[in-house]
Each structure stands twice: as C-alpha cells, then as structure tokens.
C-alpha cells in the first residue's frame, strides 16, 4: 500500500499552533489532538513554522516540538519542520535533527538579525540543502520579519538542486504578481506554496501553486476552499473565501501577534485548546470589539460550510 507521502510535497499543510500548559510548557496531549483534528479534516500534512512560535521557543523547545509533531504524525501525511536560524550552523543542526526524527521536509527563513545580500542568502540556503537528503522549502517570511528574497536566489537554488529538493514559499508583497514572476522565471518548474493564511489563496491557486500552508484555526474552511478550487466550483469558492479573507484581514492588523492571538482564540473557541496562552512577551492582545467581529465572521464561515 502506498503512503500519503510517496508523492512530492503538496496540498493543504496547516501550520500548527503550539498549545501551552498553565506553566507555559508545551502541552503534548493537546498538540496531538490538534494534529489528529487536522488529519480528520483531510489535511495532507502539518507544518511547524512561524505561528508555531518557533522564534520564542528557543533551541531546546524547538527540538522538543519537532519531535512531538513527527511522532504524532507518523505515516499519516507530511511533517514539515522549520529550521531557519541566525547562524548557518544552527540551521543545519535543526535540519539534521528534523531528518533524524522522520520529518518529510524542512522549511527555512533567512536570518532576521542580519541583512544579507543575494550571494550570502543563496549560500545559507544551499548549505542547509546540502546537509540533508529531504526537501527544503525556502520561505520568504518578509510578511512577518526580515527582508524579501531576491528572485535570482530562487533561480540559483533551483538550478543547483532541482524542483524535488528545493521548493518555495514566497511571501513578499504583492504576493500574486511576485509568485507569477517566480513561476515564469523558472519556466513553471518551481513548486510553490502560498502562506497568506487564506487571504490570497484563490488568486495564488490560479497562478499555479502546488499547496498552501495556512494556520490551523480555519482549517475546515481552507480544506473545503482548496477542494472547491480543485473542482472548479466558483460559487462555493467565493462563498468560503470571503469570510476567510475577512478573518485574515483582522489578523493581519497586528502582524505575527495578530495571527497568534486570533488563531489561538479560535482554537479555544472550537474546544481544541484549553486556553489561549502565548509565549511572552507579546505585542498585541485581542480586544473585545475585534473578538466580536471575529465571532461574527467565524459564524458566517461555519454557515458557508
């Protein structure tokens, strides 16, 4: 019997949120419940990335989370672990650890504390790719942190490693046109994911992405939207897309902390998380009026489903 991961990385791969206990340790049982729920909704796999709070977990916490995730996923689908770090050596350490514990692929952002030129950025990603045998997703996290990755870097990496070893998750604005530039510059060979939370999913799908990496909070809506796009059902596509876009627009107002606050609120509202704890310090907390609008839009999405 073939495994779901026999094919190249693709489909709906939600980025997990890290549930925390009251003493702010990683809540393993709740994390497993979140992963089980993702597969019940027909996600193709799961991802550990920015909204997993990896930048606040520390070296030990990141490895602990990666281990818990890969163990819980097993052979049910893909497991993608973010390994980007401030030094090449640490990124390689994270990448090798991810491969050792059974990850399907790794993903990396560039260092955020150092403004790198194209040559240094390319050298950083190439070093990670050479250190492992599993694929690397090159993530431009400039919608959260850091600077946009130049198109020439993508081309050079693809030329050296090929489309099975190097995949891309561009996030710099304007996302759709930049995605098309990457697609066209690589003759359509680049395998591209989008990670806009769903707000640009319809537009990006029409530009040829192979998958999406949304948050877990709206996963039922995102899976249904992806299936509607695959089926060419425009009526259902826009019925689902509009409340998703409105919810993500609220999250975008406060950057990474906006996504974290609202997404953890929705996971708690769904009964998946026992609380909404985030790793402190945080720069924004959900206020009553935003929460009320989130509730109204969430109800609309559920009605559309």
- % of the chain surpassing 70 pLDDT: 97
pTM value is: 0.96
User: Does 144 have pLDDT greater than 70?
Assistant: no
Note the CATH number of domain 11-235: 3.20.20.70
Predicted confidence at residue 114, as pLDDT, reads 85
Where are the domains positioned within the chain? Answer: 11-235
What is the rounded distance in angstroms from the CA atom of residue 212 to the CA atom of residue 229? 12
Predicted confidence at residue 189, as pLDDT, reads 96
If one compares 150 and 29, the residue with the highest pLDDT of the two is: 29
Within a 13 Å sphere around the CA of 45, how many CA atoms are in the beta-carbon half?
27
Burial class (CB in 10 A: 0-12, 13-18, 19+), 49: buried
Mean predicted lDDT score pLDDT of the chain: 95
Tokens 């606050």 correspond to 261
Closest to 213 in 3D by CA, of 4, 12, 10: 12
**Of the candidate ranges 134-143, 215-224, 260-269, the one whose mean pLDDT is the lowest:** 134-143
Predicted confidence at residue 225, as pLDDT, reads 98
User: Does 192 have pLDDT greater than 60?
Assistant: yes
- pLDDT tens by residue, 94-131: 999 999 999 999 999 999 888 889 999 999 999 999 99
Predicted confidence at residue 277, as pLDDT, reads 98
**Of the candidate ranges 63-77, 163-177, 200-214, the one whose mean pLDDT is the lowest:** 163-177
Predicted confidence at residue 1, as pLDDT, reads 37
What is the rounded distance in angstroms from the CA atom of residue 76 to the CA atom of residue 14? 14
The arrangement of strands across the sheet holding 193-194 comes to 11-12, 211-212, 193-194
User: What is the mean pLDDT of the segment spanning 284-289?
Assistant: 97
Predicted confidence at residue 23, as pLDDT, reads 96
- pLDDT tens by residue, 129-141: 999 999 999 998 7
* Token digits of residue 42: 């027909």
Predicted confidence at residue 3, as pLDDT, reads 55
């Amino acid at each position: 019997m073939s495994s779901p991961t026999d094919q190249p990385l693709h489909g709906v791969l939600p980025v997990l949120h890290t549930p925390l206990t009251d003493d702010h340790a990683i809540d393993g049982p709740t994390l497993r419940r979140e992963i089980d729920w993702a597969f019940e909704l027909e996600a193709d796999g799961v991802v550990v990335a920015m909204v997993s709070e990896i930048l606040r977990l520390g070296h030990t916490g990141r490895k602990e989370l990666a281990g818990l995730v890969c163990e819980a996923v097993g052979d049910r689908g893909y497991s993608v672990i973010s390994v980007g770090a401030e030094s090449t050596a640490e990124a390689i350490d994270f990448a090798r650890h991810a491969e050792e514990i059974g990850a399907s692929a790794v993903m990396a952002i560039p260092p955020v504390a150092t403004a790198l030129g194209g040559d240094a950025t390319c050298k950083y990603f190439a070093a990670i790719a050479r250190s492992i045998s599993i694929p690397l997703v090159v993530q431009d996290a400039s919608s959260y942190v850091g600077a946009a990755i130049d198109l020439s870097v993508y081309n050079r990496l693809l030329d050296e490693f090929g489309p099975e070893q190097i995949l891309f998750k561009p996030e710099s604005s304007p996302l759709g046109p930049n995605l098309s530039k990457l697609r066209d510059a690589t003759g359509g060979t680049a395998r591209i994911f989008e990670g806009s939370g769903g707000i640009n999913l319809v537009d990006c799908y029409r530009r040829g992405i192979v998958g999406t990496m949304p948050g877990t909070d709206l996963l039922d809506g995102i899976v249904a939207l992806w299936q509607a796009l695959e089926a060419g059902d425009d009526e259902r596509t826009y019925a689902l897309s509009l409340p998703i876009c409105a919810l993500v627009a609220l999250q975008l107002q406060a950057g990474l902390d906006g996504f974290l606050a609202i997404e953890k609120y929705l996971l708690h509202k769904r009964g998946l998380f026992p609380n909404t704890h985030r790793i402190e310090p945080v720069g924004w907390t959900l206020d009553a009026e935003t929460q009320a609008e989130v509730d109204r839009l969430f109800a609309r999405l559920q009605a559309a489903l």
